[in-house]
Chain A
Amino acid sequence: MKRLTAFALTLMLMAASLAARAELTIEITQGVDNPTPIAVVPFAWQGAGSSPTDIASVVDGDLNRSGQFAPVGRADMLGLPSTEAEIFYRDWRAINTEYLVIGRVSVAGEMRIEYELFDVLRQTRVHGGVVTGPVNEARMLAHQVSDAVYEKLTGIPGAFATRMLYVSVTRVPGGNDYYRLTLADSDGARPIVLLESREPVLAPSWSPDGRQIAYVSFESSRPAIYRQELATGRREQLTSFKGLNGSPAWSPDGNTMAMVLSKDGSPDIYLMNLASKRLTRITNHYAIDTEPTWMPDGKSLLFTSDRGGRPQIYRYDLRSGNTERVTFEGTYNARARVAQDGRNMVLVHQRDGSFHIALLDLVTNRLHVLTSTQLDESPSIAPNGSMVLYATKYAEQGILAAVSVDGGVKFRLPAREGDVREPAWSPYMRR
């Protein structure tokens, strides 16, 4: 924990002044019972001066945050090898390390990171690779190293080289609150404010290629849906109908956006063709239909509706036009998000008066409650399906937290100030 805090402090110094206020830190609250000990040796810097970014500490932090690994502290390392020839396996066995990651960093125009993974017990090289990219993306390159190491050791692709959106609210006495829509790396580092407003900003969501985002902003005194290009910041107002304009959700092919509008009466789900801007209404019910989300195959949508008297998740089949109820356990199930496998669905589930994040297996119809906190909302699932990011309350503060889909690993990302909510985990970033 001490290392992480130090690490976070370094980050804060590095972060731009605009962004420093939205900085998140990480507190791991629960890991697996026997995390695998792994040593990430500081990568050798092959250039003038000292390395601009400590690649190994980013990898170290990623593996630690997964809860499945217990990184070895640098003070405990008996040597700092950067090539295979420099490795003395007995040094690492002596401190009970099972795996070893070493690497070398050089810059020639762009940054080049070579890394190698060794099995200490078998004394063999398990994997090695090279990632290259712009120097100012050094942290993202380090996350790519983490992804590769994680996949080699767990068989599951890593999702460290991804980003997230969240909304932070800074309360100002007198009622002039600030709302900031922030983009950050999946570890909360490098926050960038994308939108700053005195009016609420809500429901950020990602385009499937990770290049654009959509959100709801009240800046024009009524809710409106905007989409914004990440690279340029240019944006477009998609809707501003009277009544609700909410919950934008990009279709998996990126051509259509599902949204909630109440322009024709009660809130219903509409699809907007993003090229022609033509709207198609897909639900028509006097009950409230809201929070649409797409199944990964794009053939159906899930949404929350109280057409059965209590909010439950329903599925709308785009081809047949049929709507069927999906959730039956409990009296409140809302805001579904589905993993890329199309099988694991996360949602907000009420049990004993508290709102928890739960996982519903769409094949077996078994529901597992993942969290034990009380006011959990807005679950967002990692592109590799391993972790769920959600918003909750901790010590009277709105914070983000994460839990693994098996409930075994938990961590919190408290903000330094203000409330943080509505996280949206990005898809895999295409480079």
Chain B
Amino acid sequence: MQYISKALVAGGLVILTGPLCLMGHAQSYVDVEAERAAAQSSAASDTSTSADSGTTAPPDPYSVQPAQSYPATSYGVGSAPAATPMGGTTAPGAAPAAAQGGQNLGNLFYQLQQLQQEVMRLNGKVEEQANELRVLKEQSLQRYVDLDKRISGGAGAAAGSAASASASSGGSGNTTITMPPASSGSGVAEQPGEGEAYRAAYALVRGQQFDSAVQAFQKFLQDYPAGKYAPNAHYWLGELYLVVEPQDLESSRQAFMLLLSEYPGNSKAPDAMYKLGKVYFLKGNREKSREYMDRVISDYGSSNSSAVKLARDFIAENY
């Protein structure tokens, strides 16, 4: 850069009028090559691009290049200097002309330069925002595809209850954990500390820490065997035994069975029944499985439980 500034100082007034000063100004990054070239050329041709103004520039002390007595020599791979030129292009000489613009012209150029800088800056912003928009579009499409996959993968398990959050399990294929709304209305009052314990255990499910969640729900049932959230805990245990490694079908069956026998009127009963059918299917007992699926439809067919649709789909798919 010091070359450039030197050249610019040497250019004096011309600085304000010559387009090269724009170059010099905008040149804060250009590679070594460009810098050198600019230094050389600004000294040599001295902002001569403004030839149209027709006036002559003051003599520039830097425009006279010291003659180089040392000629460049080119060699072939045989390292013998080659004297003959390959072809014959002659470069057009630069017409030595420069502008001596007035103060107004100078101001105009200064403003133009400012505008150009500003447009460049805005241009950069637009480019970046267009790119961000493109990236966001791609991401949102990707998210939609993911969501679509998850919903169809869960066979509409999440469709029924708006409050459900699904988290597909790692180990057991298509199993989808559906969060049942914490059921109330069973007439049992919440015991002190029960809510916190339940939510803490449920948080483990959300965090996909299934083994810890199993222990947390077991502890919960020990502490609050007749608690308000006990049916929920049974339901979750049933679900969790299906997704832990190794899968524990028998414990899962017992948990769902317990929920059905102890709390037949619970809002989670249809889901538990459907799951029970599924557990029997996984255990290889197709008859029992079909029996429970049919019961879901016959017992809760008139309700708007999502388990009914799931059971129908299941039958359609497997029988």
Are B123 and A223 touching (Cβ within 8 A)? no
A234 engages B86 (CB within 8 Å): yes
In the complex, per-residue mask of A150-188: 1 if CB is within 8 Å of any chain B CB, else 0: 000000000000000000000000001000000100000
The interface stretch among B4-12, B32-40, B295-303 is B32-40
Chain B 51-97 interface residues, beta-carbon cutoff 8 Å to A? 65, 68, 70-82, 84-87, 89, 91-92, 94
The interface on chain A, measured as residues whose beta carbon lies within 8 A of the other chain's beta carbons, has a size of 71
Name B residues whose Cβ lies closer than 8 Å to a Cβ of A: 19-20, 22-23, 26-27, 29-34, 36-38, 40-41, 44-45, 48-49, 65, 68, 70-82, 84-87, 89, 91-92, 94, 116-117, 120-121, 123-125, 127-128, 131
Is A227's CB within 8 Å of the partner chain B?
yes
Q: Is the CB of B34 within 8 A of A290?
A: yes
**8 chain-A/chain-B pairs, Cβ below 8 angstroms:** A18-B79, A194-B76, A197-B72, A228-B74, A240-B91, A266-B22, A266-B23, A267-B23
Q: Is the CB of B124 within 8 A of A308?
A: yes
Do B86 and A307 touch (CB < 8 A)? no
Q: A221-B40, A265-B49 are in contact. Are A230 and B76 (CB under 8 A)?
A: yes
Residues in chain A near residue B45, CB distance under 8 A: 222, 242-243
Given contacts A219-B68, A219-B72, contact A244 B37 (CB under 8 A): yes
Q: Are B120 and A306 in contact (CB under 8 A)?
A: yes
Q: Determine which of B20, B91, B117, B131 lies in contact with A239 in the assembled complex, contact meaning CB atoms within 8 Å.
A: B91
| B120 CB contacts on chain A under 8 angstroms | 287, 306-309
Could you say which of A221, A223, A328 contacts B65, with CB atoms under 8 Å apart? A221
Say yes or no: B131 contacts A195, CB within 8 Å.
no
Tell me if A196 counts as interface (CB < 8 A to partner B): yes
Known A-B contacts A223-B37, A227-B86, A311-B29; A262 and B76 likewise in contact (beta carbons under 8 Å): no
Cβ of A247 and Cβ of B74 under 8 Å apart?
no
The 3 closest A-B pairs by CB, nearest first: A308-B124, A233-B76, A240-B91
CB distance from B33 to the nearest CB of A (A): 5
Chain B residues, Cβ within 8 Å of A221: 40, 44, 65, 68
Q: Are B77 and A183 in contact (CB under 8 A)?
A: yes
Partner of A245, one of B37, B74, B79, B125: B37
Decide: A222 and B29 in contact? CB cutoff 8 A.
no
Choose, from A35-43, A198-206, A292-300, the stretch at the interface: A198-206
The complex places the Cα of A200 from the Cα of B39 at a distance, in Å, of 12
Contact B72 A195 (CB under 8 A): yes
